[in-house]
């Protein structure tokens, strides 16, 4: 999706039909009073969105949404000047769980918007994908556009696909964490980092490299219906705000105690290690940006002095 924008392509309400597979005992079902708050200040609330709940909806029959959860928990913080009462700084797909940032005033929303617009926000996702990914680290680089094929207009597609319109360049990074199996089928646990923001980007990119996300009913065209959820989770969000950055992490749901159907066999690296590497890379980029700014300032100063002495 576009940074901070509203997801214009809504999936059908019944994305995952009743497959007869119940969630594991450690998995809670969604309810309007089950909101999990990860962070709260006078400007922001960050929640851990459930996998079986929409962020918001104009449909009267949508009883469970994050919008309604927030209104129930924090009625005094709702802003009647906004359509939904709360300013959602970015979007998560209906079937995606994890970190979701909500701004409590217009100025706070603007600061986060610019982080996304300038691509300074760091988003880290966890996923289980079908098959064993041979390449431990890869950059997935496929342009993604809207699918105009009849019956698939709620989906996105990679450039070159029949019916693909308005494709835009998109990049995602994939890092393998563990190899294992889910319900006896080979799967890989990975870290996904979107470097651009396009609707369904991670789902489309994983599908494009032959490793679709486990339980993605929509992009498997209804074939992957056995898992109780789509295995995509927004694990971490880092926003380089001033004077202090904002960061929150939602617990990893893809663990054997939470879901015994997932059985890891070989661990290559931990999510904590990957996040630390990303933090170090961001620090290096920050120092480099500061050095570039200093060089630009010196150049401007020298130009000004030269123009002044020539008068």
Indicate which residues carry an active-site annotation: 93
Structure tokens, 23: 């969630």
- Tokens 């600061």, located at residue: 111
DSSP reduced 3-state for 206: helix
User: Which of 166-196 are b and which e, b meaning 16 or more Cβ less than 10 Å from the residue's Cβ?
Assistant: ebeebbbbbbbbbbbebeeeebbbbbbbbeb
DSSP reduced 3-state for 228: coil
Closest CA to 123 of 207, 192, 178, 44: 192
Structure tokens, 67: 């919008």
Whole-angstrom distance, CA of residue 163 vs CA of residue 149 = 5
DSSP reduced 3-state for 204: helix
Q: Are strands 164-168 and 144-147 parallel, antiparallel or unpaired?
A: antiparallel
DSSP state of 10: P
DSSP reduced 3-state for 47: strand
DSSP state of 34: -
178 strand-pairing partners: 189, 267
Cα R_g (the chain), whole angstroms? 21
Closest CA to 55 of 12, 120, 102: 102
Q: How far is CA 85 from CA 51, 77, 88, 103, in A?
A: 22, 8, 10, 11
């Amino acid at each position: 999706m576009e940074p901070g924008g509203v997801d214009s392509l809504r999936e059908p309400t019944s994305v995952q039909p009743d497959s007869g597979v119940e969630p594991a005992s450690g998995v809670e079902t969604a309810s309007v009073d089950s909101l999990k708050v990860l962070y709260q200040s006078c400007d922001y609330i960050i929640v851990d969105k459930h996998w079986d709940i929409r962020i918001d909806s104009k449909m009267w029959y949508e009883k469970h949404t994050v919008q309604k959860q927030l209104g129930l928990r924090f009625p005094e913080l709702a802003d009647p000047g906004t359509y939904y009462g709360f300013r959602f700084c970015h979007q998560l797909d209906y079937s995606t769980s994890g970190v979701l940032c909500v701004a409590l005033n217009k100025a706070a929303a603007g600061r986060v918007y610019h982080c996304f617009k300038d691509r300074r926000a760091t988003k880290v996702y966890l996923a289980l994908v079908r098959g064993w990914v041979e390449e431990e680290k890869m950059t997935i680089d496929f342009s993604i556009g809207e699918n105009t094929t009849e019956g698939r207009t709620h989906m996105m597609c990679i450039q070159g696909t029949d019916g693909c319109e308005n494709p835009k360049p998109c990049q995602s990074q994939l890092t393998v964490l563990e190899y294992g199996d889910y319900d006896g089928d080979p799967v890989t646990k990975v870290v996904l980092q979107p470097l651009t923001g396009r609707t369904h980007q991670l789902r489309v990119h994983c599908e494009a490299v032959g490793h679709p996300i486990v339980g993605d009913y929509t992009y498997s065209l209804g074939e992957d219906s056995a898992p109780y959820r789509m295995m995509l989770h927004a694990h971490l969000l880092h926003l380089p705000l001033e004077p202090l950055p904002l960061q929150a992490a939602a617990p990893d749901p893809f663990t054997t105690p939470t879901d015994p159907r997932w059985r890891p066999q070989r661990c290559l690296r931990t999510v904590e290690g990957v996040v630390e590497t990303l933090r170090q890379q961001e620090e290096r980029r920050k120092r480099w940006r500061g050095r570039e700014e200093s060089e630009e300032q010196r150049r401007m100063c020298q130009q000004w002095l030269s123009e002044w002495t020539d008068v």
